[in-house]
Amino acid sequence: MADAASSVVSGRPRRYRLLTRLLLLSVLGLVVITRGFWLQGLALPLIFVDQMPDVDAMLLCGGDFRLDEAFRFHQKNPAGQILLVGRSPGRFVRLQILQAPQDLERKELIKRGISTDRIGVVAGLSPDERLSDALVRWFDEHPNAKIIVVCDAFESRTLRWELDRELPRNLSKRLVVRPLASQLYSTANWWHTKRGVAGFIRGWLGLILPVFQRSNDRRWRECNPELFRPAAL
Amino acid sequence: MQSGTVSASGTLNPVPVHWTRRKYFRRLVICFFTVAVLYAIAPILLGWAGSWLNVGEPLSSPVDYVFVLGGDADTRPFLAAAVFRAGYARSILIPEGTPPLAGDESIVLAEHQIQHAVLVNRGVPPDAIQQIPGPVDSTRDEALALANFLAMKPKSRVAIVTSDFHTRRARMIFRRILAKDRDRLCFLACPTDGFGPYDWWHYRDGILWYASEYAKLLREVLQ
């Protein structure tokens, strides 16, 4: 009697469970089959393209073809300035192992025929200073000037958000962001390369982390060279 | 779906509504407390997750070679140079990395070139640096390159230098590929710039590196 009753009660759940599993499997299959479509869709929000007004300078923040882009900009606007980001000298530069990235970029631009007076550096006064603080100083010296900022495509929205957050509104309006495509990947195939996956994750982390991080009080610190020996011996 | 208990006569007695509500409320409270406890102990858990990846051990006796894995060229070669200068190694091996992308040659050096420059700058004589032919693009490639090298150098011992969070996966891969020679290897954990095992989650790069390390470790375990 009890068995009959329990089969009456459990008959529907069993069918229901089977149906749920079938449905889940079909959804999973659909996700796998259409992965190209939605992976591409997931990358699209990372890219931000501003309207292109006439600008007076181009700031090279990143991107694979930034030097070519700077050369094209110079050809179109010979009076325009090319701005490099002045990074604080890292260990390699201090030990004179490598030249500072901005020095290498400057040399390469000069090689391409851009005169030195057209090349400037937007640099922080201290290693901890943000790019936005250096930009505020540059705008003080160049009132009414507009800048186009070129950067890696997957970091373009993060950069736009950072600039909007850290700069006064009247200054952030004078900046336009232009994403540069990578040599190795695009939104249509980023998941095929290591650099594409890293760029995708970095782009999303850049958008998500500021929401959760209360303050940026933890500064990037270089590891003390004295730690290398005790770590090994 | 109707829920309830079955009586002796086989009829279904519905559960009172307040019982179901109480059940959901209890579940909600448990969920809330679980989340609160996890949030409170998150730094401990994340710190543990970070330090678990580090299986490096300091060198107790000299080795023949120090093999510097590609990546983090601003720290790993410095540690290798410290080992060499302390007299714990005869020679330093660096793998031939992939060349820079087209157009970037003038502003970016290949990784082995940077490693070589750092080692020379830190006092390692150029003739004590050997380049293992490549190009290598992954830890697996590096393990295969070292296996080829060690095939010609029986009985030599190698200390492998890599970043602290990479030592567990590197050890797994090298021990798989150099199964017979696994006792000839030891792993040195190099501290990283910017973040460490106990604060990596505060930094974008820290999250990127530690999360991807766990993903790669999982892939390695499943293979």
Tokens representing A108? 């390469």
User: Is A135 inside any structural domain?
Assistant: yes
Instruction: Find the CB nearest B191 among A2, A184, A231.
Output: A231
pLDDT tens for the 223 residues of chain B, in order: 445 555 555 666 666 666 678 888 888 999 999 999 998 998 999 999 999 999 999 888 899 999 999 988 889 999 999 999 999 999 999 999 887 776 666 667 788 889 999 999 999 999 999 999 878 888 999 999 999 999 888 889 999 999 999 999 999 999 999 988 888 999 999 999 888 999 898 888 888 889 889 999 998 998 7
Q: Going along chain B, which residue ranges are E strands?
A: 4-6, 12-14, 63-68, 89-97, 129-136, 158-163, 185-190
- Please give the tally of structural domains in chain A: 1
Contact between A105 and A84 under an 8 Å Cβ cutoff? The reply is yes
**B118 at A interface, C-beta within 8 A:** yes
Would you call A178 helix, strand, or coil by DSSP? strand
**Angle at CA of residue A202, ends A201 and A208, nearest 5°:** 85
Q: Tell me the per-residue pLDDT of A80-93, one tens digit each, with 9 for 90 and over.
A: 999 998 887 888 88
Domain of A194, in residue numbers: 46-212
Contact between A200 and A191 under an 8 Å Cβ cutoff? The reply is yes
Q: Which residues does chain B have within 8 Å of residue A230's beta carbon, measured at their own beta carbons?
A: 58
For residue A223, the chain B residue with the least C-alpha distance is B193
**B124 at A interface, C-beta within 8 A:** no
Euclidean distance between CA atoms A88 and A96, whole angstroms:
14
Q: Tell me the per-residue pLDDT of A169-189, one tens digit each, with 9 for 90 and over.
A: 999 989 999 999 888 888 889
Q: Which residues does chain A have within 8 Å of residue B188's beta carbon, measured at their own beta carbons?
A: 231-232
For residue B187, the chain A residue with the least C-alpha distance is A232
Instruction: Find the CB nearest A231 among B107, B190, B199.
Output: B190
Q: Which residues does chain B have within 8 Å of residue A64's beta carbon, measured at their own beta carbons?
A: 101, 103-104
User: Is A224 inside any structural domain?
Assistant: no
Closest CA to B154 of B130, B197, B183, B132: B183
Sorted by where each starts, the structural domains of chain B and their CATH numbers stand as 56-222 (3.40.50.620)
The secondary structure of chain A in percent helix, strand, coil, rounded to multiples of 5, reads 55, 10, 30
Contact between A219 and A211 under an 8 Å Cβ cutoff? The reply is no
| Length of chain A as a residue count | 233
User: Is A35 inside any structural domain?
Assistant: no
User: Is A6 inside any structural domain?
Assistant: no
Contact between B93 and B65 under an 8 Å Cβ cutoff? The reply is yes
User: Is A227 inside any structural domain?
Assistant: no
Question: Given the structure tokens 């505060």, which residue do they identify?
Answer: B202
User: Is A231 inside any structural domain?
Assistant: no
What's A115's domain CATH number?
A: 3.40.50
Closest CA to B206 of B217, B193, B216, B218: B193
Tokens representing A149? 């900022």
Q: Tell me the per-residue pLDDT of A223-233, one tens digit each, with 9 for 90 and over.
A: 777 778 777 77
For residue A208, the chain B residue with the least C-alpha distance is B204
Contact between B77 and B119 under an 8 Å Cβ cutoff? The reply is yes
